[in-house]
Amino acid sequence: MRNWLWILYLLLLGCSSLRVDYDYDPGTDFSSYRTYNYYPDMQTGLSELDTRRLLSSLDSVMLLKGFSSSEEPDFLINIESRELRLPRNSTVGVGLGGGGRNVGGGVSIGLPVGRTELEREVLFDFIDSQRDALFWQAVCSGNFRENATPLERERQMREIVVKAMAKYPPRK
């Protein structure tokens, strides 16, 4: 039953505005990575509560994918995030003009409409613990509501993790 809930959840996420870009080292043998842990001095850029929500979601997704947390991990996960304020796209133009007898003139003013959009970008870096080398990365970006309820924040963190981990490990 739990797996069906995950499948339904993944299908519902297909309609979201979250964008994810992936990059990885094509020479990496992903089958050699079975255990993970988090970077010891990780600074997520999120509040403490949002960090806990994100890590809890990531732990559950990693468990479903067959990975386990370990004190001696095969790879380390580092998570960073930042907020980006997007410029307003909508403006209203007001103009005056006049002319006659080969003389013309005009004045135009653009007035911004609406609020600036807040976007969050979350980076997931997977680092080989033996070589200390980055081998996989996902960058998630999407709209973020500052005044979201705790339940909405929980859903948002889970959505970020599920989308980021959808293509890990990459298929050849």
105-132 pLDDT, tens digit per residue, is: 565 666 565 555 678 899 999 999 999 9
20-32 pLDDT, tens digit per residue, is: 999 999 999 999 9
In angstroms, the CA 64 to CA 3 distance is 9
pTM above 0.85, yes or no: no
- Residue 41's nearest CA partner among 144, 127, 136 is 127
**Three-class DSSP labels, 70-114:** CCCCCEEEEEEEEEEEECCCCEEEEEEEEEECCEEEEEEEEEECC
Structural domains of the chain ordered from first start:
16-86+115-165 (3.30.160.670)
> pLDDT at position 119, please?
87
What DSSP designation does 137 have? E
61-92 pLDDT, tens digit per residue, is: 999 999 999 999 999 999 999 987 755 555 65
Does the pLDDT of residue 158 top 70, yes or no?
A: yes
What DSSP designation does 26 have? T
The two three-digit tokens of residue 146, written as one number: 């500052």
Apex 36 CA angle, 32 and 37, nearest 5: 155
